[in-house]
Structure 1
Amino acid sequence: MEWTGARYADGPTVEVSTWIAAPPERVWALVSDVTRMPEMSEELQSVRWVDGATSPVVGARFVGRNRHEAFGEWETTSTVVACEPCRLFTWAVGDPDEPSAVWRFVLTPGNGGTELSQWMRMGPGRSGLSFAIDAMPEKEQKIVFVRLREFERGMTAALECIRQWAQA
């Protein structure tokens, strides 16, 4: 695990990685199926492709419905901003030019399997976290740190699910 940044405006990031004893094609089939992501997440409740999209290609959009104890329930629309099958899948949450977050999977073949990394960056656009920071600006660094740790735990759990499924 690696994370950087202390303030929301700094674009704090978190990244986790795992090695999977399966070829990139098998791992790709799992990470590129956004409709399965809720099976790996406590927070993400459902995902559906919109505008006729059925798979990740640059410009395709999907809607995710989320639930969090502190933030309630909400939906976001994400846009695929980079897609190289079996290598890279990146999406921006909200406005792709000013996203509230950017998420990325990177697949690297090696050692007879696949190194899978998941990375995310908060901001620069506003998100639900922005309202908590607005209400308690003196606690911004703690708010950001706690959310990064939540993302780290969720991403670690998601990669473990993907690893188990790919190796099954």
Structure 2
Amino acid sequence: MTNTIIEKSPLFELRAEKWISATPEQVYAVVSDLPRSAEWSPECRGGEWIEGAPSAVGSIFRGENLRAEDVVGWAPLIRGTWYTEARVTRAEPGVTFQWMMLTHARDDQESVWGFDVEADGDGSVLTHHFRMGKATAGIHKIVADLSEPEREKFITEWTAKLVQDLDDTLDRIKVVIEK
């Protein structure tokens, strides 16, 4: 097999941060409540806990997602509504909340999203991060029929989309918490 950008690890490793006028405990209470994610996520429309206690390590969340037609419009992405499942991997109130995306067979993927929060003066700094070590089955499916230059273009454009999503998410969380 020839070398391809998709074999790079990590494929994505991104983070953004925002100062919020609230305690770390207040921020954590919001960001760990995944069913509320429709209030701030560019794609997740919310969802429900389907296994385990809400927001606890090991619990599984089924998210409902919506992607617009114009998002990296040339690439063969899932459009409209689709569902994902994720397992909570870290849950330390006032400190960190992280979840790992699962395959349809509920196997772990190297696709981890999370929030870290720390006190900063009269508020907190909230960091939103995403790391994909090895490409997921979904990424492999998207790029399967693309040439290597098209794969590189996809990764470049998808990275820009993810960076914007992280920033937009933090902006929206700040509004939700500070209102």
Deviation at 1:140, TM superposition (A): 2.0
CA offsets per residue over residues 53-90 of structure 1, 9 Å max, x none? 3x211101101122223422321110001111110001
Is structure 2 residue 87 aligned with structure 1 residue 76? no
The aligned length equals 162
Tell me: CA distance 1:32–1:8, structure 2 relative to 1, closer, same or farther (3 Å).
farther
- Cross-structure match for 2:120: 110
Q: TM-score, normalised by structure 2?
A: 0.81
Deviation at 1:52, TM superposition (A): 4.6
- Cross-structure match for 2:39: 39
- Cross-structure match for 2:72: none
Q: CA RMSD in A?
A: 2.0
Aligned mate of 1:165, from 155, 176, 179: 176
Is structure 2 residue 9 aligned with structure 1 residue 10? yes
Q: What stretches of structure 2 of length at least 5 have no aligned partner?
A: 70-76
- Contact 1:90–1:104 (CA<8 Å) still a contact in 2? yes
CA distance in 2, matches of 1:143, 1:107: 31
- Contact 1:100–1:127 (CA<8 Å) still a contact in 2? no
- Contact 2:7–2:135 (CA<8 Å) still a contact in 1? no
CA distance in 1, matches of 2:66, 2:110: 17
- Contact 1:8–1:144 (CA<8 Å) still a contact in 2? no
CA distance in 2, matches of 1:78, 1:44: 12
Q: TM-score, normalised by structure 1?
A: 0.86
Q: What stretches of structure 1 of length at least 5 have no aligned partner?
A: 1-5
Give me the identity figure in percent: 27
Structural mapping, 1:23-62, within 5 Å: 23-53=23-53, 55-62=54-61
CA distance in 2, matches of 1:37, 1:8: 31
* Partner amino acid, structure 2, of 1:90: Q
Query: Which structure has the larger Rg over C-alpha atoms?
Result: 2
CA distance in 2, matches of 1:103, 1:111: 26
CA distance in 2, matches of 1:15, 1:51: 28
